[in-house]
Amino acid sequence: MNRTIRRFGAGALLVIALLCPWTRSAGAGILGITGPTFNLTTGAVSISTPDGDSVLIWAYGPSGGPVQYPGPTLIVTQGQTVEVTLTNTLPQPVSIVFPGQGAVTAMPVAGPTAAGLLALEANTGGTVKYSFVASQPGTYMYHSGTRPELQVEMGLLGALIVRPTGFDQNDPTKRTAYGHQATAYDDEYLMLLSEMDPNIHDLVDFGFADFVDNTTFFPKFWFINGRNAVDTLQWDNVAFLPNQPYSSLVITQPGKKVLIRFIGAGRDLHAFHPHGNHAFLMAVDGRMISSDPTNSPTGPGPDVATEDYTFTPTPGSTMDAIFSWTSKGLGWDIYGDPTEAGFGHTCNGEAVNPTPGVIDPASGEDCTYHGVRLDSKVVLPGLQDITIGATYSGSPFLGHFGELPPGEGGLNPFGAFFFPWHNHNEKTLLNNDIFLGGMLTFVLIAPGP
């Protein structure tokens, strides 16, 4: 039985997470491996869960490296011929299918292979190469096409991101999701949503994979990018999660456009809610929501897209949305009273009486409320009358700090605003029936430049 035990308190994990570097370069992309040629392998490993337990999984990984959950995020460019070579070390045949990609071909490379129901399979010790042309930009999933009811549950899945033709990470005019300026963004994050039934994994762990009964499927672990809260807040490639490399902690600044790539990678539908603002849903299953069926970069773009506060990618589907937070309509100056010492700032270049209704593009401040004091809107209690959260900086103003009781706060070194992002189904906020955990992360609105 391949099992490990890890004991961390939630508070300790949060401290570790929030002491990590919060720096992120402009236009920073999603962690993954860049193609168009990839060499993957399969393997079995135990992944950690924050309740102190672990779960055996089957997973993909880069050849020569550890397998991981989810599999490596594959990043390619539109028009490229993508080649994925898979070597199987698991005790049963394995394959890969690429939903949303046309004319996928497969050929045996070495060792035992066999035609499967959905794709050419690599038997134990075998190698298969899959090829296709990435004809459409967007967010996609890949997963095993062999016994998917078992192997996808066991962890054989991952994300595929196709950049549009002409994409340039360092050029804001060419940093788009679909080649159209209406899909431009500043930062991007992946939210791959999945779940696991530990009973199935225990059966496989004990050698009873053929006795799995999927009609009794009952998940008790819910993941974002292969982690459960509060491990979702740890940084990428944290050492104590060697097979769960991907964070889902979102860090941005007021006014920045955040591209969120949702993938419904499990068998349940998940209602994921980004707090703080509605987001602009611009694409589903790798196609812009557009009146132009060709999705041309010079066409109308996502002109029939919608705004929403909850996103529900069905199993196997993807959604792309743009999230942006400003102080629009908030009613008070998020940077404090500019007439007071230490709070001086301008809005859209104006120190006094800036144009109402304008949002400062650099700071995200709504100039309508420039200089409006918070205490003119609400009665601010004394310290003895309030409960101080661990992420409260001591000040209600972005980028500022204030007095805190002894032993309180301390987990907000930049004076950021915190908003939870989570599944709206409360059942999914558990780790094996232990609250708080599951499909939960945060967005941190850090001070602007």
Q: Is the pLDDT of residue 386 over 90?
A: no
Give the chain's end-to-end CA distance (angstroms, integer). Answer: 52
Q: Is the pLDDT of residue 328 over 70?
A: yes
Q: Is residue 129 in a domain?
A: yes
The answer for residues whose C-beta is within 8 angstroms of residue 153's C-beta and 6 or more apart is: 196, 197, 200, 214, 217, 267
Model pTM score = 0.92
pLDDT band at 383 (very low <50, low <70, confident <90, very high): low
Q: Is the pLDDT of residue 15 over 50?
A: no
pLDDT band at 187 (very low <50, low <70, confident <90, very high): very high
Structure tokens at 73: 């995020």
pLDDT band at 7 (very low <50, low <70, confident <90, very high): very low
Which of 34-38, 272-276, 389-393 is predicted with the least confidence, judged by mean pLDDT? 389-393
Q: Is the pLDDT of residue 292 over 50?
A: yes
CATH of the domain at 217: 2.60.40.420
> Which pLDDT value is given to residue 411?
87
Taking residues 281-292, what's their average pLDDT? Answer: 96
Residue type, 144: S
Q: Is residue 161 in a domain?
A: yes
Residue 410 Rama label (left phi>0; alpha psi -120 to 50; beta): left
pLDDT band at 384 (very low <50, low <70, confident <90, very high): low
Q: Is the pLDDT of residue 24 over 80?
A: no
pLDDT in tens, 62-118: 999 999 999 999 999 999 999 999 999 999 999 999 999 999 999 999 999 999 999
Residue 169: name the closest of 326, 288, 360, 34 by CA: 34
Q: Are 91 and 55 in contact (CB under 8 A)?
A: no
Q: Is residue 214 in a domain?
A: yes
Q: Which residues pair with 421 in a beta bridge?
A: 274, 441
pLDDT band at 197 (very low <50, low <70, confident <90, very high): very high
Q: Is the pLDDT of residue 11 over 50?
A: no
Strands 157-163 and 74-77: what pairing? parallel
Q: Are 436 and 231 in contact (CB under 8 A)?
A: no
Q: Are 87 and 121 in contact (CB under 8 A)?
A: no
3-state helix, strand, coil in the chain (%, to 5): 10, 30, 60
Domain around 116: 10-323
Q: Is the pLDDT of residue 19 over 60?
A: no
> Which pLDDT value is given to residue 396?
87
Q: Is residue 284 in a domain?
A: yes
Q: Which residues pair with 43 in a beta bridge?
A: 59
Q: Are 188 and 397 in contact (CB under 8 A)?
A: no
Q: Is the pLDDT of residue 282 over 80?
A: yes
Q: Is residue 147 in a domain?
A: yes
Which of 23-27, 141-145, 353-357, 373-377 is predicted with the least confidence, judged by mean pLDDT? 23-27
Residue type, 376: S
Q: Is residue 123 in a domain?
A: yes
Q: Is residue 372 in a domain?
A: no
Burial (0-12, 13-18, 19+ Cβ within 10 Å), 342: exposed
Q: Are 138 and 162 in contact (CB under 8 A)?
A: yes
Q: Is the pLDDT of residue 389 over 50?
A: yes
Percent of the chain with pLDDT over 90: 78
> Which pLDDT value is given to residue 6?
40
Q: Is residue 100 in a domain?
A: yes
d(CA 92, CA 325): 48
Taking residues 25-35, what's their average pLDDT? Answer: 76
Q: Which residues of 281-312 are buried (b: 16+ CB within 10 A; e: fewer)?
A: bbbbbbbbbbeeeebebebebbeebeeeeebb
Residue 256 Rama label (left phi>0; alpha psi -120 to 50; beta): beta
Taking residues 233-242, what's their average pLDDT? Answer: 95
Number of domains in the chain: 1
Q: Is the pLDDT of residue 8 over 80?
A: no
